[in-house]
Amino acid sequence: MAAVIIRIASLPPILDPSPTPAPNVADSSPHTEGNGQNAPSVSIEGNYHRINSMQEVFNRYINYLEAERNVSPYTVRNYTTDLLDFFQFLGTKGVGSLKEVDRHVVRDYLAYLMGRGLVKASIARKLSAIRSFYRYLLREEMISTSPVATTSSPKLDRRLPAFLTIEEVEKLLEAPDLSTPQGQRDRALLELLYASGLRVSELVSLNLEQVDLDSREIRVLGKGAKERITLMGKPAASALSDYLSQGRPELLGERKNRALLLNRYGERLTKRMVQKILGDYASKVDIGKKVHPHMLRHTFATHLLDGGADLRVVQELLGHADLSSTQIYTHVTKSQARKVYLSAHPMAQEEDNELENK
């Protein structure tokens, strides 16, 4: 994964790099403000004397995220955006150095975000980015205490994940035109998303050698570069076999590419293209709701639990590090069970009508 170099020269003084150039950091020349004078440097206690500029602090932090924490480029981008927003706020408040930031400043920032109308999930994400950065500063002994150590994240409203019914899934799977190579590919990718519960990023990153049609196993490299084995049923294996023997060779042509799913130019299919393919088919069969790749992952988990699968097994198949991430689907199945009960059981219907008439 290529290193991300964060350019911070245009930020307020809280993030201005030191006039001393940082060694071994790309393009770390001194920053000057509009009047041509060197901008004030950021003061960090502890081992800051070993690092010559805030530019290098950020570059080291990003390298740490990528090399040691194995976070995705998407997470790196979000953390960068959220941290720069925080430092922009510090600049407007006249906070001159990171060691001046205490829990009261952090709480002021959270209040500022609420005043901007940000939802709780966005505020929690920004706070998570700040926590991560300060944990890194503590780890490198650049600071002695973290101002966010005792700050609680806002309690998030629990939203039940949307999913498709079995009938809607069947309509979606039957939508592609199997007489074309693109249709064979689309049938295979739809079957894989539903049968294996893959994240769309995992799906598009698959190479040929990661799929075993005989055992119907897929070796997936998930979040944090963690490898897991997920499974597929006979319909998915059959659709994939047809695509590999017929559609994929036509899409590949004379080119060489180990990617499992190819576009019409023989190149790896992108996440954006999968989203468009799924949306187009959902509209074609008139499902009546906005369908996205992650909804099929939700559907995979919900249907497994509805069928009596053990929660721990579903956790393993989804690649969830924490069981609580999987437990949300138990709420979905309970909610669905109640709807089915109220609509199907005659005594429940009478009881429900009585409650409505009171």
pLDDT in tens, 254-302: 999 999 999 999 999 999 999 999 999 999 999 888 899 988 988 888 8
Clarify whether residues 299 and 237 are in a common domain. Answer: yes
- Residue 262 belongs to domain spanning: 166-346
Q: How far, in Å, are 57, 140, 189, 239 from residue 47 at the CA level?
A: 11, 7, 51, 58
Q: Are 21 and 120 in contact (CB under 8 A)?
A: no
Clarify whether residues 86 and 125 are in a common domain. Answer: yes
272 among known catalytic residues:
no
Q: Which of 199, 248, 298, 303 is catalytic?
A: 199
Q: Which of 248, 297, 298, 303 is catalytic?
A: 297
Clarify whether residues 194 and 304 are in a common domain. Answer: yes
Clarify whether residues 194 and 65 are in a common domain. Answer: no
Clarify whether residues 222 and 292 are in a common domain. Answer: yes
Measured over the CA atoms of residue 266, residue 270, residue 272 and residue 274, the dihedral's sign is positive
48 among known catalytic residues:
no
199 among known catalytic residues:
yes
Q: What span, in angstroms and rounded, lies between the C-alpha atoms of 71 and 64?
A: 9
Grade residue 209 by pLDDT with cuts at 50, 70 and 90.
Answer: very high
341 among known catalytic residues:
no
171 among known catalytic residues:
no
Grade residue 42 by pLDDT with cuts at 50, 70 and 90.
Answer: very low
Q: Name the amino acid, one letter, at 274.
A: V
Q: Which of 93, 103, 131, 294 is catalytic?
A: 294
Q: What span, in angstroms and rounded, lies between the C-alpha atoms of 85 and 217?
A: 43
Burial of 30 (0-12, 13-18, 19+ CB in 10 A): middle
Q: Which of 223, 268, 271, 292 is catalytic?
A: 223
Region 89-98 average pLDDT: 82
Clarify whether residues 132 and 191 are in a common domain. Answer: no
* Domain tally, the chain: 2
> Helix or strand or coil: residue 43?
strand
Biggest CA–CA distance in the chain, Å, is 81
Residues paired with residue 229 on neighbouring β-strands, in sequence order: 219
pLDDT in the model for residue 100:
81
| Kind and range of the H or E run holding 211 | strand 211-212
CB count within 10 Å of CB 199 equals 18
pLDDT in the model for residue 339:
63
264 among known catalytic residues:
no
